[in-house]
Amino acid sequence: MAGWLVCALLVATAAEDRVSDAVQAAKDRRVVETLLRLKGIKLDSNPKWKAAVRRHLRRIEGSPKYFELVERFGLRDESPQLLQLANAAKTPDATVNAVRLLLEFEQQAAIRQAFKQYPAQAPGLISSLGLAGGAVVLELLQPLVTDGSQSLAVRSASARAVGRNLKGQQFLLELVRRKDLARDLHFTVADVLFASPAAAVRNEVARYLKLPAAKGKPLPPVSELVKRRGDKQLGAQIFQMRGTCAKCHKVRGAGKEVGPDLSEIGSKLSAQALYVSILDPSAGISHNYESYILVTAEGTVLTGVKVSDSATQITIKTAEAVQRTFKKEDLEEVIKQPTSLMPEDLQKNLSAKDLVDLVEYLKTLKKAPVGVPSARP
Ligand code: HEC
């Protein structure tokens, strides 16, 4: 057969497949719409209906309608998909919907499993649980706040999530009172409790914890800072000069690269996350930027971010942006640090207003919109 004919046939079959796909989709949608109109329908009683609903759900996965249908038909066996959506949905609404349904289907065990299986996503999942709220969430997350085997990122996200609930705030306050709160959670818990709507909680936490000071004055909680507007031009200057940020971060080619390039940080992090990154850098150490201490056989001690690590040698970059390579045989110890290389007290020499200006600037560092060609000189 002539090549073009085979081609034409293939195109025709593909087109037919597409048509039949579209027909099937329309049929499935009709079945779903009809089922929705019937009351007390048991989907399990009819495999054909169930198959139609399933196919329909796959086509609309993650949309508001998807969650509505899963809830309406009580489709507990959608839980694996819900868990995936909870970890990687496109919008915060979808994430919270996924989490809410997982809780409704009593999938706590699966959620706990996901924390272990996908540790990098765990803090995000935990924040969504906080937004979904409720007593079950407290049950699930309170133990994580005090579980020393969990990373700071997980414990800190759990404390924030628990602190969205007034009972959860009492739980945190009790840890503070009993002096059972780990030192590395002081910022998170102070930030949560100083923002409590309950004056009694605010007054009591003030007896034990302080928010970090900027130019000697305690800062307001992050939830307050995010409401303020700043001057992005002043913020850019602070980034370069007094803030010392450019010593460790590149923005559009300028600055040193010890920490992550921040050219698009405004697309990656919310204003709240930007403040937390500056005031409590160790709470959410970004992937690949864990810091290490190297001790050489001669007793030299160096701290830095790992640049590369092979069978025979290891390269780190210090806070001064100096790269050093060592043969593994010359090293006595390589210790991963729980703390960030980014200093904890950068706000010390800045005022609250400086900090607000700085974040205003960081918010403007966004990805170029797709499809818009960059301006020509
Ligand atoms: C001594 C080096 C150093 C200095 C100075 C420093 N940073 Fe960092 N920064 C880092 C490192 C390393 C990381 C990655 C580890 C982490 O997330 O804590 C980081 C992470 C961050 C992040 C999170 C990035 C991400 O992709 O999640 C932000 C935002 C940030 N820094 C902003 C700042 C700002 C603003 C300043 C100035 C006030 C500053 N940094 C000063 C080293 C530094």
For residue 319 and ligand 1, the question of a CB distance below 6 A is answered with yes
Domain-ending residue, one of 180, 210, 240: 210
189 and 311 inside one domain: no
**Tokens, residue 242:** 């007094």
Residues 162 and 66: their CA atoms lie apart, in Å, by: 28
Spell out the per-residue pLDDT of the chain, length 377, in tens: 455 655 555 555 566 666 688 889 999 999 889 888 887 778 888 889 889 999 999 999 999 999 999 999 999 999 999 998 888 767 778 888 999 999 999 999 999 998 888 888 899 899 999 988 888 999 999 999 999 999 999 999 999 999 999 999 999 999 999 999 999 999 999 999 999 999 999 999 999 999 999 988 999 999 999 999 999 999 999 999 999 999 999 999 998 888 999 999 999 999 999 999 999 998 877 778 888 999 988 888 889 999 889 999 999 998 888 899 999 999 999 998 888 889 888 888 899 999 999 999 999 999 887 665 554 44
CA of 362 to the centre of ligand 1 (A): 12
Residues 282 and 162: their CA atoms lie apart, in Å, by: 20
351 and 274 inside one domain: yes
Candidates 219, 225, 248: which one to mutate for ligand 1, based on the most atoms within 8 Å of Cβ?
248
242 and 325 inside one domain: no
Residue 233's domain comprises: 223-282+347-363
Domain-ending residue, one of 155, 186, 210: 210
**Which residue has a Cα nearest atom 39 of ligand 1?**
245
- Is 193 inside a domain boundary? yes
Please give the DSSP secondary-structure letter assigned to residue 283.
Answer: G
200 and 227 inside one domain: no
- Is 202 inside a domain boundary? yes
Q: Does residue 127 contact residue 92 with C-beta atoms inside 8 Å?
A: no
CA of 241 to the centre of ligand 1 (A): 15
**Tokens, residue 366:** 């966004």
The ligand 1 atom nearest the CA atom of 291 = 12
Task: Decide: residue 228, CB within 10 A, 0-12 exposed, 13-18 middle, 19+ buried.
Answer: middle
- Is 245 inside a domain boundary? yes
